[in-house]
Amino acid sequence: METERELELFAGVAVTDLGRAAGWYHRLFGEVETFDPNDTERVWTVAERRHVYVEQRPEHAGHSFVTLFVGDLDEAADAAARRGIHPESRETYGNGVRKVIYRDPDGNEIGLGGAPSAQ
């Protein structure tokens, strides 16, 4: 396996409608760098050399799941809520790690994870 400095991650999500998905993911991720590599894909750079992309592949839509571990889960979830994206559920694991689960318009699971709450 490559070292972290050499690693670039692209996590893919299959969707039915690229325009609809692009709007939803833009509201989830907020103001991050994006690019369109072709007519069927849209990419969000969520951290340096770490990307989430949607691809119009209707035959596979709704079966993807991706989790991003973020530095401040509460702020990330609050920011998404201010942009109109609300979680389907929230979980706290036995070790205190938390996860907020979202569903895109096709039903793909997008999770945001975070360290145990300081409270």
Break the chain into its structural domains and give their ranges. Answer: 4-114
Three-state DSSP at 43 gives strand
How is the chain split among helix, strand and coil, in percent rounded to 5? 25, 40, 35
101 neighbors 68 (Cβ within 8 angstroms)? no
Q: What is the pLDDT of residues 21-80, one digit of tens each?
A: 999 999 999 999 999 999 999 999 999 999 999 999 999 999 999 999 999 999 999 999
CATH (residue range 4-114) = 3.10.180.10
Q: What token pair was written down for 84?
A: 């109109």
Model pTM? 0.90
Say if residue 103's pLDDT is above 80: yes
- Once rounded to an integer, what is the mean pLDDT over residues 112-117? 93
